[in-house]
A = this chain, B = another copy of it.
Amino acid sequence: MSKITVKLGLEKEYTVNIGTDILKNTGEIIGAIHSPCRVAFITDFTVGTYYTNTVVDSLKDSGFEVYIFAYPAGESSKNMETYEKILEFLADNQITRSDLIVELGGGVAGDLAGFAAATYMRGIDYVQIPTSLLAMVDSSVGGKTSIDLESGKNLCGAFWQPISVICSVDTLETLDKKFFDDGVAEIIKYGMLGNEKILKILHSCVENHDNLHFALKPFLEEIVEEAINTKISYVKDDVLDTGRRQYLNFGHTIGHAIEHASRYAIPHGHAVAVGMCSMAKAGEALGITEEGTANKIKALVRECGLPTSTIISPKDLYNSALSDKKRRGENINLVFPISFGKCEIKSVKIDELLNIITLGVK
C-alpha cells in the first residue's frame, strides 16, 4: 500500500491510501486517525452491494458503530432530494460533530456525501472510499463537494477536505467499461497538463492491447498515484479555485456544456474527452495551439475508446456553458493546449465563446 500526504493551503493534511484489496483494512486505517464513534456509511445500492459487508465488518471490528444509508446509483441522485434525505438520516441517528461519515462509491457518492459532511451541523469529518477511476484520480484531492441544481451541474456545494481517502484499485474490476473510460479521460487530462509518465503508460497500453481496461490493470496503482500527485501540484496553493487550479478545468467548459445539453445522458469523462479535443481544434484555428496537437489528442482519445466529437449544436453548447460557474462577469477563463502535454489559461470575452465552441466542435 502506498500513501500520499495531501496538504492543501491552510487545510488540515490527510492521507490518500492506494493499494489492492485494502477495503478489509478500512477500520484499521480509520482507527489510526479517529477514535471509535458512530459512523454514517453512505453508498449507492449498486456498488454498495459488492463492498458494504467488507467495509462495515472492518469498521465494527475496530469499534465503530455503523449506520447505513444507500441511494439509487447515478448522477440523477446527486440532487437536493437525496441530500436532504441524508441530512435527516444523520439527525435521526443522532450523528454528532464528533462522529464520522464514510462514503463508498464513485464521484456521485463523494460529491453528495461530501457536501452532506460539509454542511451537517456546519461540518463533520468524512472519509472517502472511491470505487471508480474518476473518483480516485479526480475527487480524492481538492475537497470539492457538490450537488446538481435544475439549472446546472455542481452549482451548489462547498470546499470540504476528507480526513482520509482509501483507494482500493481492485474495486475498479467491477466497474462498467463506460465508467472506467470516464476515468481514463481525466487521466489523459493529467497527461496533457504535463505528466509524461501517464502519457507513456497510456501510449504503451493502447499500442499493445485491444482492451485498455485489461491492459491498464498492472499499472493502476501507479497511474492513480501519478494522477493524484499531478492534481495536488495544481491544487495545493489554490484551494479556493481562483488561479492555478483552473488548469484542471481543461476540457471541462465544453465538457460540462455537453453533459448539461444532453441532460447528463453523456457521462462526464466522455464529455470532457470531446471538450479536450475541441479546445485543441479551436486553439489551432486561433493560432494558440501548435499545429498537429489536435490530431495527436484525438488519436489518443479515440484509442482509449472515448468520443472526439459531439452532435450537439454549438449554439446549444454555448447556452449551457453560460450557466457554468467558472464564468466570471463578462469574461470566461478557458484552458487551451499549447502543444501535446502543455496547457495555458486564456481569459476570453463571453461574446467570443460561441465562436470558439463553433471552431472546436464543427
Contact = CB atoms under 8 A, between A and B. Distances in A.
Interface of A: 10, 37, 80, 84, 87-88, 91-92, 94, 96-99, 115, 118-123, 144, 146, 149-152, 155-159, 240-241, 322-323, 325, 327-329
Copies of this chain, tallied across the complex: 2
A241 B124 CA distance: 12
Given A80-B80, A150-B88, A155 B96 contact: no
Of the listed residues A37, A119, A158, the one surrounded by the most CB atoms of chain B closer than 10 A to its CB is A119
B119 A322 contact: no
B149 A88 contact: yes
Given A80-B80, A119-B119, A144-B122, A91 B158 contact: no
A37 B329 CA distance: 8
Given A119-B119, A158-B118, A328 B98 contact: yes
A155 B116 CA distance: 11
Contacts of A94: 322-323
A157 B80 contact: no
Nearest to A89: B151
B156 A158 contact: no
B158 A158 contact: yes
B122 A158 contact: yes
B323 A159 contact: no
Contacts of A96: 325, 327-329
Contacts of A123: 158-159, 240
Nearest to A159: B122
Nearest to A79: B84
A152 B325 contact: no
Nearest to A328: B98
Contacts of A144: 122
A156 B325 contact: no
A157 B328 contact: no
Contact of A122 (B92, B99, B151, B157): B157
Given A96-B328, A123-B158, A158-B122, A80 B84 contact: yes
